[in-house]
Amino acid sequence: MLGYNCRYISLPKRGNAIKENEDNLIIATDIKDSVIKFAVADGATESSFSKEWSCLLVSYFKDYSFDKLHFEQTLKMAAASWQSRVDSISLPWYAELKAEMGAHATFLGITIDRENNLYEAWSIGDCMLFHIRDNKLLQSFPFTRADAFSNTPDLIPSKWQDINKITQKIVSTEGSVMSQDHLILATDAIAAWIFKEIEQAGIPWNVLTALTDEGENTDKFEEWLEQERNTRQIKNDDVTLILINFT
Amino acid sequence: MIHILNIIEFENLLNCIIIPIYMAYTAEISRSNPSCFLFIIDQSGSMADKYVSIGIPKAQAVSDVINKIINQIVIKCAKSEGIRDYYHIGIIGYGSGGVSSAFKGELAGRDLVKISELSEHPARIEDRIKKMSDGMGGIIEAKAKFRVWIDPIADGGTPMTAAFKKANTVLSSWLQEHPNSFPPVVIHVTDGETTDGDPSIEMAHLTNLSSSDGNVVLFNLHTNARTQSQLSALTFPGSETLLPDQNAQLLYNTASTLPDFIKRVAENEFQLQLTSDAKAFVMNGDIDVIVTAIEIGTRSGLQLMR
């Protein structure tokens, strides 16, 4: 069976506290020996309770299906859970009005079958998957170019009545992996940087691997991120990454 | 023939290459680097005239719009843990009492107020009837809370020059404290002509104020009680447009040219087709035109919040 190791990092935008990071990720390795799942979600700054919503999305990805057939049903369960959390809190008038508009998030999740070396990924919005083999980009999903990023990506809404509008927008891809391949899941700001590096003939996965380690220490990465933000190479936004290396 | 550069030409060339092109109006709006909206409202006697289109006095309709906009900004800045102070807001009124802050209640007399304070201290909360969709294609009426920070006032003359003098004092001091902010957007609503001399020098002074991210943006919005079919309204005209009189010329000349970030909102979200030199200026606007212009002016900044 294909072996793997993974590293991850999730940091708030500059000026925000760690608890204000609205990105979330999940690494689910206990589903079945041969099946592992990874997901990232990016809660929209414009809405409130986005952090809770992105957290619910990655959690539901672990336990439920996001394929076209089941996506609506899964989302409605997640939305009901979001609503009951919000309803359980007493809010001031402005927060109540804001919460009535719902939360929004982008999402990307991947399921890897290590027995058959296959993966399937689902996405709404601008979280990205990069598949690298022999130091070359084999596939990027859902976008193939840096200029595809915009300020108005598709978003998954938490309001039950808005969900119908988005369920048809989920896109999926498949691929096969082999030993020495790398997969990267990234939220938009760092994903845009990866694209830019690729377009300038850089090897961003090597840079990111060198900056992260398998432990909890994020100092090196944080220092580098600060520098890239200062020089406007990376947009000041929450940053979340999962790096998977197959062995 | 090959021209060999001398040292000065070489240095000039290098400067051309390495000096980055700085884009104005790109500063991040955050809690540590907030921006500012300043409203300047004509409260002279003629603001008591009713808009023909809606049968409501101009002063009432304009104060309703501003109260609604403040409400929207508060909600926009709300997060689950509370309000994020992305903005400071001021409202200057000018009329019979001269020039003063238009805030009522606990905020009376304050020039610029943080969003979190506005959220806590409306002057009062009114019950109003709101029309909303019934979800089946129909319209229903429902009771809604309407928060009020300013009241309609219509009395006396039009001391526009003094109002802009006050605006200059308020914003000069704010910009000193926030030198790298996203520049303040000033929205001036009037229905008449100045009664205290030529305000153009004060207006020019205002649009020359700047942060490191660009100059203050001034919207001059002239409103008229008559409908647009009775009077031709001008909305964000460019230099090719013929202006009806001297007052229009003054308000046109002193308004900012619409920066790209505002133009994008006007074109993409309000489907307006604007010339490249379109001015932040409306002449003879009915209330719906004024509402659109205020929404464009305030919404563009709100999209840049981080």
One-letter amino acid at A39 equals A
Asked if B31 lies within 8 A of A15 by C-beta distance, the reply is yes
Specify the higher pLDDT residue, B138 or A187.
Answer: A187
Asked if B306 lies within 8 A of A98 by C-beta distance, the reply is no
For residue B18, the model assigns a pLDDT of: 46
Say what the pTM is.
0.86
Q: Which residues contact A83 (CB under 8 A, 6 or more apart)?
A: A158, A160
Q: Which residues contact B185 (CB under 8 A, 6 or more apart)?
A: B35, B36, B37, B38, B216, B217, B219, B297, B298, B300, B301
For residue B16, the model assigns a pLDDT of: 45
B226-270 pLDDT per residue, tens: 866 666 788 999 988 888 888 899 999 999 999 998 998 899 889
Q: How many residues does chain A have?
A: 247
Q: Which residues contact B62 (CB under 8 A, 6 or more apart)?
A: B41, B47, B152, B189, B223, B287, B290
Q: Suggest the residue from A91, A94, A159 to mutate for an interface test with chain B (most B CBs closer than 10 A).
A: A94
How many whole angstroms separate alpha carbon A102 and alpha carbon B220?
A: 35
For residue B19, the model assigns a pLDDT of: 46
Query: Which single residue is written with the structure tokens 């998977």?
Result: A244
Confidence of residue B47 (pLDDT cuts 50, 70, 90): very high
Asked if A45 lies within 8 A of B306 by C-beta distance, the reply is yes
Nearest to A81 by CA among A112, A109, A55, A114: A55
B207-232 pLDDT per residue, tens: 999 999 999 999 999 998 886 666 67
Task: Note which residues in 149-188 of chain A have CB less than 8 A from chain B.
Answer: 151
Q: In the predicted model, what is the mean pLDDT of chain A?
A: 93
- The interface predicted TM-score of the complex, written ipTM, equals 0.83
**Measured on CA atoms in the order B24, B28, B34, B36, is the torsion positive or negative?**
positive
For residue B139, the model assigns a pLDDT of: 79
Q: Which of B76, B80, B145 sits opposite A49 (nearest CB)?
A: B80
A96 to chain B, any CB pair closer than 8 A? The answer is no
Percent of the residues in chain A that have a pLDDT greater than 70, as a whole number:
98
Q: In the predicted model, what is the mean pLDDT of chain B?
A: 88
A80 to chain B, any CB pair closer than 8 A? The answer is no
